[in-house]
Structure 1
Amino acid sequence: MRSGPLTIAVGIDYSDESAAAARWAATMAEHHGWPMILVHGFAPPLFVGSLPGYRLDVAHDVARRRVESLADDLRLTFPDLHLSTLLSSDPAVPLLVKVSTEVDALILGHHRPGWAERLTSTSISCTLSGLSHCPVVTVPFGHVTPHGPIALAIDVDAPSQRAFEVAFDRAELTHRAVAVVCAIPDDLSLADVESTYARADALLTPWRRRYPDCPTTLQLIPGEPHRTLADAVPDASLQVVTRPRLRHSRTRWISSVARAMQRRANSPIAVVEYEQAP
């Protein structure tokens, strides 16, 4: 339903996860004729950059070889891909936040840190999911279900127009079904279950009319959404979830359903801005 090609950016580093995310993005970009840009900010942590033996020219050369090598591999594998690169000495997070104002989607690799890493740091993908100006798709290493439905997690009390749009646009482009999931409390009465289902179904009505060729299912999932929604559609090719409405609130992001799903999901997950229906 959009006019003109999307432009997608892929944030890369030296990890297998970022290379896998680039390949996942390249598959989409080549198929749909979307321009794609590889982005690498190679600024070191402050304590590394201040060490006597650190040389910016060497760091730049290593980063350049990484970007060129990955770009060459992608061009060989995807000969019709419209690919460009951006190499910068800026730190990765502010660079990618800036890039997110100029593209339609930001693709990042995602790995699951151990408990010690969770206590001492946060991943770039999690940080950017809370700051980006465009949807962020994090791709776990080893994703193997590219042909499954698009899963859309909704909150009937605060539905996001943008999340519906992203999910249905993606489903239409890839000829996939949309599997809508909504978490409900375990102890909800039968009458309240029926009422919640009716409200969720009513939210879908205009989207079913707008996208008549996209099969749509709706499922209520009992349980805490932080634990249940990530696994609700195990064969999903993409999951779509809304981030907290206060984008720059770190506390809201850390405790959000979107972050919990991102950490648990086995498939790519798109975290999109909250946008209320008009």
Structure 2
Amino acid sequence: MLSPVVAGIDGSAESLAAAAWAAREAERRNRPLHLVHAWDWHPRRQDGEIAGAAQRHLARCSLRRAEQLVRAECPGVPLTDVQTEGPTTAALLKAADEAELMVLGSRGLSGFTGFLVGSVALGVVAKATCPVVLVRADEEAADEHLPAADGGASTDSGYRDVVLAVDLDEACDEVIEFAFEAARLRHARLRAVHAWHTAAPVGLGPGDIGLVEETWQGEEWLGFLKAVLQMWRDKYPDVEVLETVVDDRPTTALVRASTGAGLLVVGHRLAERPVGPRTGPVTHAAIHHVGCPVAVVPHL
């Protein structure tokens, strides 16, 4: 049985946008779509049964709205759904273990009926073993595509670029492959971006190597990036690749590079941490500041 694309549903506009994006991705990947509504329940003893019934009703309504949206947008995608009692993050992580990828709204509702100001999404991103795509509330199908000839929105034009953040100190096959596959499925161009820093002259001391010409540094990094991606170019010959290196902070470079993109792909190292969900600074910045959907791909 094929692993599904899973979308977390909580009734918010973000989760409905996530369900629609997940349906389109399931269609591209020829995968089934699975909608999951998970809710936390901490009732007082005397009203537990009533509160539970209300929660189940809200869950059913949220799933029904998402199903209607998916059926209208991608009627051919096989669809299943489930509602489950929380903890919400744990329930979604369990679903992610069996998923091709997980899709969530990047922010959600404050309160017991939804994401706690993104805490669920961040918790899933930090610990999920499958890629997690975060989608904002205003994301629509036309946003994945280039404008029409008259400048208007279109779903018939080509796809916007897929942008891949490459850390050349830690280039990970899982992250690179996900980006190439996403570009292949969309017949889109892949823009691979690496950010590097010019050494600061005040940091030089006795025995240190002085500054080399900035242009030469850029050429060296670009050559390294091309070498890292060559194997993937060979594996995906139909994907057009544009390599870019910039002398800038990675967070700033990615926000700038993702402007006008259809998808940004970043990596996230999985690690056991004693307290709370955490993501690295680049992933954190992408989640909070990039306007297009962000795919966070875990790796060891």
What number of residue pairs does the alignment pair up? Answer: 264
1:34 to partner: Cα distance: 1.6
- Report the counterpart of residue 37 of structure 1 in structure 2: 34
- Any gaps of 5 or more consecutive residues in structure 2? 110-115, 146-158, 200-210
The correspondence for 1:9, drawn from 1, 6, 9, is: 6
Cα distance change of structure 1 residues 228 and 162 upon mapping to structure 2, 3 Å threshold: same
Instruction: Find the counterpart in structure 2 of residue 161 from structure 1.
Output: 173
Instruction: Give the conservation status (yes or no) of the 8 Å contact 2:108–2:117.
Output: no
Which has the larger displacement, 235-244 or 188-197? 188-197
CA-CA distance at 1:233 after TM superposition: 3.0
Whole-Å Cα distance in 2 between the matches of residues 181 and 132 of structure 1?
24
Could you say which residue in structure 2 is the equivalent of 1:50?
44
Match of 1:91 in 2: 87
d(CA) in 2 for partners of 1:51, 1:180: 55
**More displaced 10-residue stretch of structure 1: 224-233 or 166-175:** 224-233
User: Which structure has the larger Rg over C-alpha atoms?
Assistant: 2
Q: 1:116 — aligned with what?
A: none
One of 259, 265, 269 as aligned partner of 2:290? 265
Structure 1 residues 255 and 273: CA distance shift in structure 2, 3 A:
closer
TM-score (norm 1): 0.86
**Structure 2 counterpart of 1:180, from 189, 192, 197:** 192
CA distance in 2, matches of 1:109, 1:34: 20
Q: Which moved more, 1:246-255 or 1:66-75?
A: 246-255
Hey, which bits of structure 1, 4+ residues long, moved more than 6 A? none
Contact 1:151 1:178 in 2 (8 A): yes
Residue of structure 2 in register with 1:117 after alignment: none
Offset of residue 149 of structure 1: 1.1
Q: 1:73 to 1:273 in 2, by over 3 A?
A: closer
**1:258 Cα deviation from its structure 2 partner:** 1.1
1:211 has 2:272 as partner? no
What code does the residue aligned with 1:168 have?
Answer: F
Q: CA deviation at 1:270?
A: 0.6
TM-score normalised by the chain length of structure 2: 0.80
Letter in 2 for 1:236: A
2:84 pairs with 1:59:
no
Q: How does 1:64-143 map to 2 (within 5 A)?
A: 64-111=60-107, 122-143=118-139
Gaps of at least 5 residues in structure 1 are 114-119
Shift of 1:33: 2.8
Seen in structure 2, the aligned counterparts of structure 1 residues 69 and 248 have a Cα distance that, compared at 3 Å, is same
AA of the residue aligned to 1:165: E
- Corresponding position of 2:150: none
Deviation of residue 105 (structure 1)?
Answer: 0.0
Change (3 A) 1:125 1:224: same
Displacement after TM superposition at 1:178 (Å): 0.7
C-alpha separation between the residues in 2 aligned to 1:158 and 1:102?
Answer: 27
Asked whether the 8 Å contact 2:122–2:277 carries over to 1, the reply is no
Aligned to 2:162: 150
C-alpha separation between the residues in 1 aligned to 2:268 and 2:186? 24
**1:228 pairs with 2:222:** no
Checking the alignment, whether the CA contact within 8 Å between 1:230 and 1:265 is kept in structure 2 is yes
Q: Report the secondary structure of 2:62's partner residue.
A: helix
Change (3 A) 1:255 1:78: closer
CA distance in 2 between partners of 1:225 and 1:17 (Å): 27
**Which of 234, 237, 242 is equivalent to 2:262?**
237
1:45-82, Cα deviation, whole Å (9 max, x unpaired): x4xx3375452112112211221232133223322121
Q: Which amino acid aligns with 1:201?
A: K
Give yes or no for contact 1:243–1:256 (8 Å, CA) kept in 2: no
